């Protein structure tokens, strides 16, 4: 459905997919990539260490803290934030190049970064991804077992706070357990609907 519609679109969109840790942002984006949809998926730069199975330039651009600070000083980042004591940011030129190609641009950003994009580029399309309830979110975070108990509790508390920021977004999508394709379909329908607007979003990067 979306692939056929995308061939007819004129004005590309800047799409922000955000939500607390544990809602499945990476899983949703990976499924969209598997479907070979005509999007440009922006790769985030981060100063955190690479986790097992992650690929440089695919999951993230992994840089040192000093390199990240240098990128900030050279104004190379569209937005950046300190998240759980590690830097994360969106490379500006990557977004500009993708946008100029005419493709819709999808950025996976934490809620703090999404707030920044909302202020800088109010015409961006912001989609908030969530679980069915807080209990499900906490269970997912605990099941990951990728960090210490102290850091896990910090993520849980931060996630609870971020769930209350949904009103900053244009759309809300629930990523329920075992409903990945339904989640992707909901996101694609939102994007297709946005392309049908009589007054399209005019993003200036």
The DSSP bridge pattern shows strands 104-108 and 86-91 to be unpaired
CB 87 within 8 Å of CB 46: yes
Is residue 190 within 8 A of residue 173, CB to CB? The reply is yes
Residue 20 to residue 130: CA distance in whole angstroms:
7
**Residue 144 annotated as catalytic:** yes
51 is catalytic: yes
The single residue of 3, 96, 144, 160 carrying the catalytic annotation is 144
- C-alpha 101/C-alpha 183 separation (Å) is 27
Q: Is 92 a catalytic residue?
A: no
SS3 127: strand
- The active-site residue, picked from 31, 74, 96, 155, is 155
Between CA 66 and CA 90 the distance in angstroms is 16
- Which among 51, 92, 145, 196 is annotated as catalytic? 51
Which secondary-structure segment (H or E) carries 78? Answer: strand 77-83
Active-site residue list: 51, 144, 155
């Amino acid at each position: 459905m979306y692939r056929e519609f995308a061939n007819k679109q004129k004005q590309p969109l800047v799409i922000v997919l955000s939500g607390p840790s544990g809602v499945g942002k990476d899983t949703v984006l990976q499924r969209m990539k598997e479907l070979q949809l005509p999007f440009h998926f922006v790769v985030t730069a981060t100063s955190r260490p690479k986790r097992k199975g992650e690929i440089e330039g695919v999951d993230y651009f992994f840089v040192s803290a000093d390199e990240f600070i240098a990128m900030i000083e050279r104004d190379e980042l569209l937005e950046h934030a300190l998240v759980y004591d590690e830097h994360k940011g969106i490379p500006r030129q990557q977004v500009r190049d993708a946008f100029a190609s005419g493709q819709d641009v999808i950025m996976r950003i934490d809620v703090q970064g999404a707030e920044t994009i909302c202020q800088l580029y109010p015409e961006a399309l912001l989609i908030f991804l969530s679980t069915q309830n807080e209990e499900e979110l906490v269970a997912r975070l605990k099941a990951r077992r990728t960090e210490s108990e102290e850091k896990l509790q910090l993520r849980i508390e931060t996630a609870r706070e971020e769930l209350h920021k949904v009103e900053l977004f244009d759309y809300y999508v629930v990523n329920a357990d075992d409903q990945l394709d339904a989640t992707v379909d909901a996101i694609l329908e939102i994007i297709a609907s946005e392309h049908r607007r009589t007054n399209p979003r005019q993003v200036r990067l």
